[in-house]
Amino acid sequence: MLIVLTFLLCLLIYISSMSSADKKHPQDEASRNDQEASSSDILNKMKRAAAKKLIERYFYQLTDGCGNPQCQNKFCASSGEVNNITPNQAAAKAIELFSKEAQLCERHPTKMARTQEDSVISILPETNNEESNSSVDTTQLAVPCNEMALTSSSESTSKANSTVTSFTDDETVPYLTEEKLLEIIDECETCKQYSKLIRTLGQVFSNISSLTRSFRQTPSTPIDAMLDIATGDFMTLKKEDVRSLEGEKDKDEDSCVDATSCEGVRKRMELDYPSLRRSYAALFNLPNNIFESAMVNALVSLAGYLQMELQTRNPKTCSEDDIVDVLIMAFEIPALGSGDFLETAFPALCRATKWLTVDIQAKLAYAWAGPGCSSLRSFLENLHQLVTLRVILSQFHPDFFVQDENVVTAATSIMRVLYYSNILAGALESPELNQDDETDLSNLGRKLHQKVLPVDELAAQLGINVLDCRKPFLPFSEFYNEPLSDVVEMDKDFANYKGDIHKFSFMRYPFILTPATKTLGLYYDNRIRMFSERRNSFLQNVSLGTNTSPYLRLRVRREHIIDDALVALEMVALENPIDLKKQLVVEFEGEQGIDEGGVSKEFFQLVVEEIFNPDYAMFTFQNDSQTTWFNPTSFETESQFTLIGVVLGLAIYNNVILSVNFPMVLYRKLMGKKGSFEDLAEWNPTLYNSLKQLLEYTEDDIEDVFMQTFRVSYQDVFGTLLHHDLMENGDQTAVNQNNKREFVKLYADFLLNKSVEKQFKAFYKGFQMVVDESPLEMLFRPEEVELLICGSKNFDFIELENATEYDGGYTNSTLIVRHFWSVVHAFSSEEQRKLLQFTTGSDRVPIGGLSKLKMVIARNGPDSDRLPTAHTCFNVLLLPEYLTKEKLKDRLIKAINYSKGFGML
């Protein structure tokens, strides 16, 4: 039977070759053009594949033999006449034997087959052309639709077996390749019978060993390389060509056939991502209902086996690389975020990933950051689908929180791997930009607290930090899950975070929470610390008889607010810095206001206005970016910059939004990253563009065009021009094509770091005096810290109207209320800000938008000439029931423009 099949294959090759070369009848050529165009490629592929199988048999006959100890074939290793032949020599000799049609041994029954001898599936198109139909009898080569097309590992990977050791001891483990899957799909579609496809998917996707063997990159073997060099026409190779190929391949020091002596082979057999994705595309081009149930059940079984392997951690049965590959193939499934996959298979896979070791997570992160990065968005969307579905369907109650939902927590854990893959796949900066330890609290002369933040073991294993990523592969905001953020009970989550390390807390996975939700976590942390300081003060007063205040009290005069505030804070910082952790209470002299939050808001607002006043010259204003920066030539002492840092920290600690306009580089520096060239884009766009033109200029006349040296100039507070050499003899060193990048690096470092080093260090110390024990750095990225300090830029009064509550008899349908919102929506932006200032004590939009403000409009008696009033501590607007819209507008405008201070009605 084997001889007959071999003869038929060779006959097919010969007839196809003769047919394609026949040019004797030009009048028949036109009638065959269409059919030849559609079938020539298929015939060529079949010719090459069939011939290659025979060459492989010659190759293994030369290297392994046929298994018959009485073999008399001098071209067979079993005869004893083939000695000390290298793999490359065997490959070249096999091609030569094929061209001569040399003797090919029958394989001995005890010898395992090394090549695939399955029947060939007919893929020739139907045609009426007599010559085409007579070229091959396809009915003799067709495979029945019901026949199982899966081949054992020893029969289907002739090349792989010569280069890679088995993944398992089971020699009959089924697996899939792109070609095999396409053949099965074509066969099933032809006969409209999909049992083979269903059976195949069920067997492969339920078995770890099967998946680890599937969709591998084809290893580079001597035969493959030689056939590629031969440009496919290996049937016409001459003896000299074969010898030249053999010589070329003998020089290849990387070729390796014995897997036991070649450590790099396993790496060359990596997962073939393009092949895997093409295979999934072809599979899911079919109606899902054909195979969905079988594949879902298979994945559920796979998840169970994965969990057992991960719990037992037996590397002999399943290596870490195998688990990584299996998870990659599973997560690449396009339909994972829909249908039964989403409801059954995906949750099972996520639950299994909870047992992943840090090493496996790191390998998975690297894999998804490399060839798998193009699928990151689809992976993330599928995980969001799963989390959102579980959040919507689950019934949460005091005994069952979202932190107890194991599918949500498992999906969040695997999303963390994606999060770091997203960072690795993005634009990373040099570790040289990390801040020095000189800015730590030790410079205060005393160690206040030792900051201890939870260590992210995966980040430590990968050696990265979120600050290292200038531009992630996907925007960080795409990792927020709003439905989850809305249902998280942050008090419970904070308790888990501070309590048992084994309890799940979303504060350890802050990337999935919106900034508004994370602000609640920070709020609880600050409030608990305030209560702790209050309790300590009470205990000291009782036990020691002292008169310690449980609050940080500041008594200031409105006309001298800066002097009074900075002097008071300086005394606290010097005498007892721990008092800065107490709740702030502000009193304005001569005013009746009791600080329940509203007085503090105005205090911070007034302090900020004064501090950034140009008359103080502590900060400069960048016209291009409309931002504020440290004045490198300021005459103010370091202590004053320290106290400004304290004010900024107190604002965060007391949940107050400030009207400041720092560039993003300041927040990056506060989080521990130095400024670099890319930060100039926001800090000084004009300078950034100029330097970028310098970098992009490629002509040799750069010195004449830009006329720039390593000496730079800047102005002091009096407008005097000052000079600074970026390197020794900078004024004599011209910027050229060789050193232009060094110039840009040094210039940016001078502007953003060295020139303001003294001012920033003092500012940073004051800031850290307040927030050193806070989880601020763990929860927030630099852009989120800006939101935390400055508030949202989404100034939408429609949101405020929808979120406003009513009291004292008012409802949203009351006439005066309808008039109020009509007037407010017609206000200018400045008037709307004044209304916010009047009602809440701050003109800034809280993080999350005006919908988070929770303003209350209460009735304050019948129509009268009194102005509206407000309780800024509680965001309550007291509004008399004016009879006309005009009167309402007049009284409201007067109130927001002229009312100032507390205790005046």
DSSP letter for 709, please.
B
Distance of CA 752 to the CA centre of its chain: 28
Within 10 angstroms of residue 421's Cβ, the number of other Cβ atoms is 26
Residues 547, 72: Cα–Cα separation, whole Å: 109
Number of H helices, E strands in the chain: 39, 12
Distance of CA 616 to the CA centre of its chain: 43
Residue pair 527/494 in contact by the 8 Å Cβ criterion: no
Closest by Cα among 112, 261, 117, 290 to 194: 290
Residue pair 845/794 in contact by the 8 Å Cβ criterion: yes
Q: Is 400 helix (H, G, I), strand (E, B) or coil?
A: strand
Distance of CA 118 to the CA centre of its chain: 44
Which secondary-structure segment (H or E) carries 760? helix 757-771
873 is catalytic: yes
DSSP letter for 751, please.
I
Place of tokens 């999303």: 415
Residue 611: exposed, middle, or buried by beta-carbon count in 10 A (0-12, 13-18, 19+)? buried
* Residue from 318, 373, 469, 873 carrying the catalytic annotation: 873
Give one DSSP letter per residue of 56-92, joined into a string: HHHHHHHHT--S-TT---TTSGGGT---S--HHHHHH
- On the CB side of 371, how many CA atoms lie within 13 Å of its CA? 13
Which secondary-structure segment (H or E) carries 723? strand 721-725
Residues 6+ apart with CB under 8 A from 517: 485, 486, 488, 490
Closest by Cα among 165, 164, 196, 174 to 183: 196
Residue pair 108/66 in contact by the 8 Å Cβ criterion: yes
Residues 775-784: b if buried by 16+ CB within 10 A, e if exposed: bbbbbbbbeb
What Rg, from alpha-carbon coordinates, does the chain have?
38
Residue pair 756/633 in contact by the 8 Å Cβ criterion: no
Length of the chain: 905
Tokens representing 830? 């400045």
Distance of CA 363 to the CA centre of its chain: 15
Closest by Cα among 793, 765, 758 to 661: 793
Tokens representing 204? 């492969």
User: In three state form, how does the secondary structure of 606-652 look?
Assistant: HHHHHHCCHHHCCEEEECCCCEEEECCCCCCCHHHHHHHHHHHHHHH
Tokens representing 294? 């079988």
Tokens representing 673? 């990253």
User: In three state form, how does the secondary structure of 433-495 look?
Assistant: HECCHHHCHHHHCCCCCCCCCCCCHHHHHHCCCHHHEEECCCCHHHHCCHHHHHHCCHHHHHH
Closest by Cα among 232, 2, 251 to 95: 232
The type of residue at 727 is M
The type of residue at 456 is D
Residues 6+ apart with CB under 8 A from 561: 603, 606, 607, 610
Residues 777, 771: Cα–Cα separation, whole Å: 9
Tokens representing 423? 């960072």
C-alpha distances (whole Å) from 814 to each of 15, 801, 817, 876, 887 are 93, 14, 5, 17, 16
Q: Which residues are the active-site residues?
A: 873
